[in-house]
Structure 1
Amino acid sequence: MSQYTLNQLGWQGTFQQQISLEELETCLFARVFEHHRTHYLIQTESLDMPLEIRPNMPTMTVGDWLVMSEHHEFVRLLERSTVLSRKAAGSKVEEQLIAANVDTLFIVNSLNDDFNLNRIERYLAIAHESGCEPVIVLTKADQCKDLDEYRSQVNSIDPFLMVETVNALDTDSVVSLSPWLTLGKTVAFVGSSGVGKSTLVNTLMQQQTQDTAGIREDDSKGRHTTTARSLHIMPTGALLLDTPGVRELQIADCEAGVEETFSDIVALTKQCRFSDCKHITEPHCAVINALENESLDQRRLDNYYKLLKEQERNGASIAETRLKDKSFGKLIKSVQNASRSFKGK
């Protein structure tokens, strides 16, 4: 049986502030380490145990902190410090939780034909919306002849972005990630299949935690290997969360994240002569001027518009769904109350 302190499991002051004196004396605190179809695997200071998923529970995800009774029964979910989410895959518009209480998000992209600035900007929007710190990790550095060019492209998004280039198979190479991998800190890895996430995880964990597979030679795309999200305690004391490769990543309810990711464009729109400028043919348009003097890239502007429209569409649909769910919940509650009143007569 493994013994941990709460700090080793990622406990922070923001969670301590949510605990009552009674709970501190009588309850246990557990973190969700794995999320399965029918249950969660949770970890307390002294034991790990399954927790059956029941209809009356809130939606939870890997990284969440829970209050448990002394009899190991679920009491409540603690408010999250950060939460990573996306639009669920498929046509149905609903939000899917990816991870909670993550301190650093490693956005992994490979230095080959799969390198994609648009995709990096998508992940950045999600990271900024969640509140966690994004770090760009460019893998397969041993196969790249022009590292500086790729780093320069990423820094064109934001000159203050943290960018690290690594060979995921080389223990010495991944040491550059150490500042974010300290005791009790939680880090998550996102990136499309084949960029080397699982290989990187295995190297950092110093063991075969995730299965790996090669990439297709014709297009440098990856074969999907990781199938579930789980939290692992690293040799450094950090907590590592790997996520499945994402082929369809749509943002949802992410307006602030998009605005922060494209803060340079947002600043330009405020300099236009007309407050309702469409940035197409209007005179004294700061956005058009920036395109003409090449201080703004057309690719970046197009991606901004694309993500903004996607966010507006999905965000509105999710808000509508939440409102319907809330109204339905109130209806069920009123019916139950009426039923109780009828039985009492």
Structure 2
Amino acid sequence: MRIPVPATPPAPPRPRALFAMGRRHRDALFPPAAVERLTRHVDLDPQLVVEDFDRIPGPASVELLITSWGCPPLDAAALARMPALKAVVHAAGSVKHHVTEACWERGLRVSTAAAANAVPVAEYTLAAVLFANKRVLEIADRYREHRTALDWSAHFPGFGNHRRTIGVVGASLVGRRVLELLRPFDFDVLVSDPHLDPADALALGARLTGLDELLAQCDVVSLHAPALPETHHLLDARRLALLRDGATLVNTARGSLVDTAALTAEARSGRLHAVLDVTEPEVLPADSPLYALPNVLLTPHIAGSLGNELLRITDSALDEVERYCAGREFAHPVSRAALAVSA
């Protein structure tokens, strides 16, 4: 007698997903191998990339949005067109540009790849700190000019990285990663963050101080605070004046944290050095002195993920999609409360 074999239950339907971002970002973030992995878990048209929520084919069935740079705002009108939408997986850092109050009112689950994007920013910052104390820019400039060996210790007395004091302003994802990268070096590290207590700072390998005290004690100060009304021009003329002569300011966070006019005056005098990956405005006017000053390194917002670093963000987003489809919690969720005080 043949024993009947139980029928294999049909696989549950895959959630319908949609790319919502700039076309060029989809192309950079989701090469064929990533698309193949993605479509194992979701029902998605890889060629459909939405840059305007008023033009979504079949919006009612969309359950999951995969977003990145260039995603339009998810306001009440956009959400009304997607009644089945339950989650947003952001393949980039900040979600402030598109996640609105309407998303929280709907109860959407939101994930971000900000932790993945923090890695290259922190690496850039570490390089800036090490180069600043070693006076690499100025020495390279002199070497280019004179094309001969000079007594660099005589020109830059006391330069080097031993027992320097480094200040980190903001224990954000990037700030915490910077603190982690600073641990192996012979640095004294200070941190300033209104949401941090001394025990937490000590666990991060730093001593908690007030901002003014940090500025006055550090050889290099690196900014990692969010752009909020209360942080606008956090480093104004008064606070920049607290920095030691010859100190270096590193800004990979937001240009609005620094009063550009005040910093330009300090840099032009030669008193302060600066490594600026972000500025206010961005881009600076063509006649800004900051482009040409030998004590300023100005880069065009390249500290974050670019080139092959984007694949780290892709992997993070794909991991989150898989968690969602398996009914698990996101590894990198965004909450309404946390978003209010983050970048």
TM-score interval, normalised by the smaller of the two chains: under 0.3
**TM-score w.r.t. structure 2 length?**
0.27
**TM-score w.r.t. structure 1 length?**
0.27
